[in-house]
Amino acid sequence: MDEAARDPIAIAVDEHRAFERLMADQLDASFRVAVAILGDRDEANDATQEAFIAAWRQMPGLRDPAKAVSWLQRITINASISRLRRRARDRKANEIVGRLAPDRLPDDEAIIRRESLRTALWQLKPEHRLVVFLRYYEDLTVEQISRRIGIREGTVKSRLHYGLERLRQAYDGDLEQTR
């Protein structure tokens, strides 16, 4: 028997320390992903917490520590999407726009563009918003996104394309309407 495997106290302590490191490195990123999907900070808090606890429970099943980050992100994404599914779709859209839209009316062109884009961003399908977020906010490449969330590169590209197209329409269209 592998000696390390026969040393439960050390395993437990090592796991705890490793998990603390993982949390220190990835908590913020996971939280951002959850917000990007859910559009709600409170719910993102809950989803991130749920994801980390699920990861903690399942940590011994993680065979390859090098994959811990993508493993954790997938758990976070799954937890966030599960929460999203529990929400009524119409209600969700209203809540998101209601919570994240500005209180005041835009008063110049730059603000109009930004607010239009923001509104459109939160009206995207969550899976589209996620890849846009990872590409343009987290600066990941298509290949990195593919590995990170476990979908094919072609799927990443198509989601990016669809998401950007909708954002561009909203961005330009709203601007046209205000002119």
Q: For the chain, what is the total number of helices (H) and then of strands (E)?
A: 8, 0
Q: Kindly write out the interface string for residues 59-98 of this chain, putting x where it contacts another protein by CB under 8 A and - elsewhere.
A: xxx-------------------------------------
Amino acid at 125: K
Contacts (CB under 8 A) with another protein, residues 110-149: 113-114, 117-118, 121-122, 132-133, 136-137
Binding another protein (rule: CB under 8 A), the pick from 19, 70, 97, 142 is 19
Using rule CB under 8 A, residue 157 touches another protein: no
Round to whole Å and give the CA distance between 119 and 37: 14
Contacts of 5 (CB under 8 A, 6+ apart): 11
Running DSSP on this structure, what letter comes out for residue 108? S
Tokens of 70: 């993508």
User: Which of these ranges, 54-62, 63-71, 85-93, 145-153, lies near another protein under the rule CB under 8 A?
Assistant: 54-62
The nearest distance, CB 74 to another protein, in angstroms, is: 17
| Closest-CA residue to 121 (of 130, 110, 112, 134) | 130
The nearest distance, CB 168 to another protein, in angstroms, is: 7
User: Which of these ranges, 10-18, 77-85, 142-150, 151-159, lies near another protein under the rule CB under 8 A?
Assistant: 10-18
Contact, 179 vs 112, CB < 8 A?
no
Contact, 156 vs 146, CB < 8 A?
yes
Binding another protein (rule: CB under 8 A), the pick from 25, 56, 85, 94 is 56
> 138-172: b or e for each residue (b if 16 or more CB lie within 10 Å)?
eebebebbbbbbebeeebbeebbebbbebbeebbe
The footprint of another protein (CB under 8 A) covers 3, 5-13, 15-17, 19-20, 23, 27-28, 30-32, 35-36, 39, 41, 45, 48-49, 52-53, 56-61, 100, 113-114, 117-118, 121-122, 132-133, 136-137, 167-168, 171
